[in-house]
Amino acid sequence: MKTAILFGSTGLIGGLLLNLLIKDENYKKIKIFNRSPIEISNPKIEIIQTDFAKLENFKNQMIGDECFFCIGTTKKKTPSKQDYINIEYNLPIKIGKICKENNIKIFTYISSIGAGANKSNLYLKNKGMAEEELKKLNFKKFIVIRPSFLIGNRKEERLGEKIGIFAMKCISPFLVDGLKKYRSINSEIVAKSIIKIINSDIPGGVFEPPQLLSIEKGRIF
């Protein structure tokens, strides 16, 4: 029986992962690290209200077998460039280092399709640089999830995303061969694939929509 550590439980993928972990008999405890209080009751769950500016104070509570990092923000929610970089780049690195020091074996990082340290787009650049730094920590299994446009029920309505979903549904049939990875993907498929990757012999690495779809359907890619 394992203990999972979850950052970003109120987000789209994080929330789905939380539900799957609760139902999964492989896990005896789920530690949720969250900035604000959240209302959820389950005997498996331990909620740790966290000051992310003082992560070292929570090091002794970041003990477990696996860590899921699902935190993300937008420029609209975080207009300050430095605050944005702190959340998208510095935070996952700090958490990753503490997890490594605490001998956590598996680290899952939610990145983005197109991520790369040399990208001009700040969002993709932060994701790419975070991937590279986390990889250097040499976890027993390091999983990078690069979803494309995510389809799912978000807690907050975003007009731009509604428009994007409609647009992606229109163009997805035309994204073939090497462009398949840019097709929109259901967030439930992403979450289920992550759990399958962790609890199987599939090695760590970078997983994009085509691989995630194959894993969720039980196919070898």
| Verdict on whether the full-model pTM lies above 0.85 | yes
Superfamily of domain 2-216, CATH level 4: NAD(P)-binding Rossmann-like Domain (3.40.50.720)
CB atoms within 10 A of CB 36: 7
Q: Residues 100-109: pLDDT tens digits?
A: 999 999 999 9
SS3 66: strand
Radius of gyration of the chain, Cα coordinates, nearest whole angstrom:
17
Q: Residue 88 has what DSSP assignment?
A: I
pLDDT tens for each residue of 57-102: 999 999 999 999 999 887 788 888 898 888 899 999 999 999 999 9
Q: What is the edge-to-edge ordering of all strands in the sheet holding 205-207?
A: 45-49, 27-34, 2-7, 66-69, 106-110, 141-145, 205-207
The residue extents of the domains of the chain are: 2-216
Residue ranges of alpha helices (H) inside 24-151 are 81-85, 91-101, 122-135
Q: Which tens digits make up the pLDDT trace of 100-142?
A: 999 999 999 999 999 999 999 999 999 999 999 999 999 999 9
Least Cα distance to 105 among 168, 63, 60, 161 occurs for 63
Q: Which two tokens stand for residue 128?
A: 């790419």
